[in-house]
Each structure stands twice: as C-alpha cells, then as structure tokens.
Amino acid sequence: MNIYVGNLSREVTEEELRQEFTAFGEVTSVNIIKDKYSGQSRGFGFVEMQSKSEAEAAITGLKGKTLKERTLDVNEARPRSDNRGGGFGGGRGGGRQRRY
C-alpha cells in the first residue's frame, strides 16, 4: 500500500522516514520528492508498505506525530491522475475580461 506523507521538514532523510514506518511493519520503499533544480525536499514523500494492515496501522500511528518540529500529514496515497496541470488555459487570470 502506498502512503502519502506531507508537511515534512526539509531536513528529514529517507532513512529517518523509513525508521518511523518500520515500527509498524515492512517498508518496501521510501521516496521523498525533491525539487528537480535545487535538489531540496519539496516537503512531502511516499512510503510503500508490504501489508495493507501494517500501512493502516502506520497511518493511524503517525498521523499528527511531530518529526523534526513538523506535524506529519499521513494518508493513503491517491492514484496519480493523468491531468497534471501546467500548459495553457483555465482559471481567471489578470488582464482584460471580455463581456458579451
């Protein structure tokens, strides 16, 4: 099961995050998302656990826990949508509005 972990301190390492989750079961992978230009943490990441029951226990046990002076936001990860934003259009930007 894939778990979203938000509100991470920029100083938290993947190994430290792995240790927090290992207390609840087998961790398959840990991935802290980094800015592609600066290489700094973007403040969130994903932890994958082998068992759904262990993952649910980790979510319950770690949601709201403080790690390096930040309160963790821990939830089941939602599947990535194909609509990743960017591009043109959408929204109400500045500039002139047309009235018909």
Query: CB of 44 within 8 A of CB of 20?
Result: no
**How confident is the model over 28-52, as pLDDT tens digits?**
999 999 999 999 999 999 999 999 9
pLDDT of res. 93: 55
Q: Which residues of the chain have pLDDT under 70?
A: 82-100
Q: Look at residues 12, 2, 7 and name the one whose alpha carbon lies nearest to residue 68.
A: 12
Domains annotated for the chain, with CATH where assigned, are: 2-76 (3.30.70.330)
Burial 50-80 (b: 16+ CB within 10 A, else e): eeeebbbbbbeebeeeebeebebebeeeeee
The Cα 92–Cα 27 span in angstroms is 43
SS3 of 79-92: the string is CCCCCCCCCCCCCC
